[in-house]
Amino acid sequence: MSWIQITYGSPGTGTGGISYHLLANTSAQRTGNIHVGALTCTITQQAPGPPPAVLSSVANAANYNADAVSPGEIVALFGSNLGPASIVTLQVSNGTVTNSLPAPRCCSMRRRAMIYTLSGQVSAVVPYGVAGKTSTAVQVSYQGSLSNTVTMPVRAATPAIFSLDSSGVGPGAILNQDLSVNSTAIPPRGSP
């Protein structure tokens, strides 16, 4: 086995010692043997795990302010290895938004609703259970890898309006009662 390297040992009979080194495993689990006389030592090297999830910041998903979170707020979590390469979006089961997606689990904030996830960004709803707290810990779990923890201050409210172009600035993404997009035009008299 070329991945098992004997680093110390001498040929011959009698007592003695042997040392070995294993090269880094970049593929699947592998097994090899070292034979010393009639003795066989089996070595199994586990497959490498997924790259670690890294959480860089937690921000309001509407305006990207990262100063605090609030109960019921939609947040965007930024980092790396937080989810799959392709986006996975929220799912509804029996009229309820699921609190995890098939790929990752988000947040140490319990009873959260997941909106979407992909490698560099996760979006979730801050649980109402953080109400009354001064801070909360945020952490992402993806493929068994836990990210670092980011501690966020908690405020009663952090209002923001989603923008039409998803930039966090500009005209708001606001709908009229007929579900048409509200514009800068003055609405007709009598409109709610």
Domains parsed from the chain with CATH numbers: 4-45 (no CATH), 54-153 (2.60.40)
187 CA to centre of own chain: 42
Rounded-to-integer distance, Cα 183 and Cα 192, Å: 14
Rounded-to-integer distance, Cα 192 and Cα 187, Å: 9
Average pLDDT over residues 114-142: 92
pTM of the predicted model over 0.85: no
In our burial notation (b when 16+ CB lie closer than 10 A, e otherwise), range 121-147 reads bbbbbbbeebeeeeebebbbbbeebeb
The pLDDT of residue 103 is above 80: no
Residues 22-59: pLDDT tens digits? Answer: 998 888 899 999 888 888 989 999 888 778 899 999 99
> Helices H, strands E: what count in the chain?
0, 16
The pLDDT-based confidence of 189 (bands split at 50, 70, 90) is low
